Amino acid sequence: MSEIKIVDLKANVLEDNDKLAEKTRERLNIEHTFLLNLMSAPGSGKTTTLTRLIETLKDEMKIAVMEADIDSDVDAIRIKEAGAESVQLHTGGMCHLDADMTCQGLDSINSKDYDLVVLENVGNLVCPAEFDTGATKNAMILSVPEGDDKPLKYPLMFQVADVVIINKTDVMPYFDFDLVKAKKNILMRHPGIEIIPVCAKTGEGIDKLADWIRKEVRK
Ligand SMILES: Nc1nc2c(ncn2[C@@H]2O[C@H](COP(=O)(O)OP(=O)(O)O)[C@@H](O)[C@H]2O)c(=O)[nH]1
Ligand SMILES: [Mg+2]
């Protein structure tokens, strides 16, 4: 089994989060590194989607993933096995990452060595939406079993996202998830936002998501 680096993050309550987030975006710009902050409820398929993306993109760009969790290193191991660099960030019980914690993660992997860094945020639809991590773009995953009404209940998450991935489309026949209604609810919260349905289990739709990432990384 591969050795996983574990970073215990320290909370810094004194720093102005929004200012540090802006500084982080400037740093990433200079480094030519695209940082994607990936958010969702626990179990929506963040790690599975990332392993599919890594399989698709690893020969065209240098990729690292920062796995934020309260404990364990299982997701960082899955990422390493998929073929990307990974680091496990432990949040000390916090349910989200702020800009300072994100910087600690970026330092631990030497972010300038990568074209694409993904932060897999802590599984939660509330707190991660409230803290700007300094990421270049935010993505969120809504999975079919969670229901097509999630955008009505968690408005901020859909407002701060730049792309919404609808995952687990394979189980659509078993849930009363209405894709048209889901898209309508998402667009009501965030007009014009990109919505990409995928099935991380089979890989269906991952090409479209990979295209979105290619376009953003080139910018
Ligand atoms: N049926 C189905 N299951 C999926 C899909 N994507 C992920 N899963 C399963 O959902 C569970 C949680 O996935 P994981 O990637 O660990 O979610 P995370 O907590 O958001 O990182 C696992 O059992 C996955 O195998 C999918 O597209 N379809
Ligand atoms: Mg995960």
What does the pLDDT read at residue 14? 61
What does the pLDDT read at residue 70? 87
Side-chain half-sphere CA neighbours of 141 within 13 A: 31
Q: How many CB atoms are located within 10 Å of the residue 217 CB?
A: 18
List, in order, residues 6 or more apart from 215 with CB less than 8 Å away: none
User: In the numeric block, which tokens belong to residue 109?
Assistant: 């992997």
- Ligand 1 atom nearest the C-alpha of 167 is 27
Q: How far apart are CA 63 and CA 60, in angstroms?
A: 9
**Is the CB–ligand 1 distance for residue 40 below 6 Å?**
yes
**Is the CB–ligand 1 distance for residue 136 below 6 Å?**
no
What does the pLDDT read at residue 106? 98
What does the pLDDT read at residue 2? 58
- C-alpha distances (whole Å) from 123 to each of 25, 42, 77, 200 are 23, 4, 17, 17
Cα angle, residue 43 at apex, residues 37 and 47 outer, rounded to 5°:
50
**Is the CB–ligand 1 distance for residue 167 below 6 Å?**
yes
How do the domains of the chain map onto residue ranges?
Answer: 10-218
Q: How far apart are CA 163 and CA 194, in angstroms?
A: 5
CA of 19 to the centre of ligand 1 (A): 35
Chunked mean pLDDT (size 10), the chain, 219 residues:
80 81 97 98 98 98 95 92 95 91 96 98 95 97 98 97 98 97 98 98 98 96
- Ligand 1 atom nearest the C-alpha of 198 is 27
**Is the CB–ligand 1 distance for residue 203 below 6 Å?**
no
- Closest ligand to C-alpha of residue 42 is 1
Residue 201 per-residue DSSP state: T
Q: How many CB atoms are located within 10 Å of the residue 205 CB?
A: 19
Q: Whose CA is nearest to atom 12 of ligand 1?
A: 43
Task: Give this prediction's pTM.
Answer: 0.96
Q: Which CATH architecture has domain 10-218?
A: 3-Layer(aba) Sandwich (3.40)
